[in-house]
Amino acid sequence: MDFLFKQRSVIPGFGLALGFTILYLSLIVLIPLSGLLFKTATLSWEEFWGAVSSARVLASFRLTFGAALVAALVNGVFGLLVAWVLVRYPLPGKRMVDALIDLPFALPTAVAGITLAGLYSGNGWIGRYLEPLGIKVAYTPLGIMVALTFIGLPFVVRTVQPVLEDMEKEMEEAAACLGANRWQTFARVILPATTPALLTGFALAYARAIGEYGSVIFIAGNMPMVSEITPLLIITKLEQYDYAGATAIATVMLAFSFLILLSINLIQWWSRRHAER
């Protein structure tokens, strides 16, 4: 008679919905990733290590992860600043500025890459003033950082902005009444409250930058050992029918991406624990 007292699910059709969810995730995510891993598993350890440890591949790893890290750090600083200005100051045209933050989400990445390459090239609107100073942006690793910063900024702003909106101004006023200057108020009141969201935005921007392709190839120059990113190297190996080498490199990228996403989940878990306290 225990089945008479069995608690029913509040959500109607839970079993059917769960089945469709698993099927959808399997078709879109799990099966393609499994195919990648199975293809890589056909390589011996020596073949796999040789494919991912060549000088050209290591150079692309250093450039991809290094440029993504620098871009995410820049976005962490200026993303917090932009979010603070949008929340705290009544700017003219504030709605327009707020909408422009989401432009990298809507703009096709190839269009962004072409636009940035045109702006920062030697005869571009910005590049013509930088090159006489010895600063060459387009077709260099610096151009890659510019592109990755452009596409990663919304992740930090949109993650930090709701936290700042929920933060009560009375906390800052209380700190000022207790004798804290502006820097002390920022370091001891604002920054601790926004750190979990800021770390999440940083991790999201970093993960997005690692896999970026469209906006980078037009401004990078794509020179092997100099300005060749890892996603482009994977495409190159596929065009050369080196499927094993391409999947080996993609597996390394997948592992790093998984670690980054895991870190995001841990940061969110930590932020929830921090909020409960």
Choose the most confident range, by mean pLDDT, from 93-97, 175-179, 245-249: 245-249
Q: Is residue 197 within 8 Å of residue 159, measured between CB atoms? A: yes
* Domain 42-101+154-216+227-276: CATH class, spelled out: mainly alpha
pLDDT (average), residues 4-18? 60
Using CA atoms, how far apart are residues 88 and 111, in angstroms rounded to an integer? 32
Q: Residues with Cβ < 8 Å from 65, sequence gap 6 or more?
A: 210, 256
The percentage of the chain sitting over the pLDDT mark of 90, rounded to a whole number, equals: 40
Residue with tokens 């504030």: 94
3-state secondary structure 162-205: HHHHHCCHHHHHHHHHCCCCHHHHHHHHHHHHHHHHHHHHHHHH
Cβ burial, residue 16 (10 Å; 0-12/13-18/19+): exposed
pLDDT of residue 266: 82
Type of residue found at 144: I
pLDDT band of residue 5 (cuts 50, 70, 90) is very low
Asked if residue 114 lies in contact with residue 218, where contact means CB atoms within 8 angstroms, the answer is yes
Angle between helices 243-276 and 45-52 (to 10 degrees): 80
Distance (Å, whole) CA 85 – CA 90: 8
pLDDT in tens, 227-257: 999 999 999 999 998 888 899 999 999 888 8
Residue ranges covered by each domain of the chain: 42-101+154-216+227-276
Contact by Cβ (8 Å): 159, 200: yes
Q: What does the alpha-carbon distance between residue 233 and residue 252 come to, in Å, rounded to a whole number?
A: 13
pLDDT of residue 177: 79
List Cβ neighbours of 39 (8 Å cut-off, separation of 6 or more). 243, 244, 247
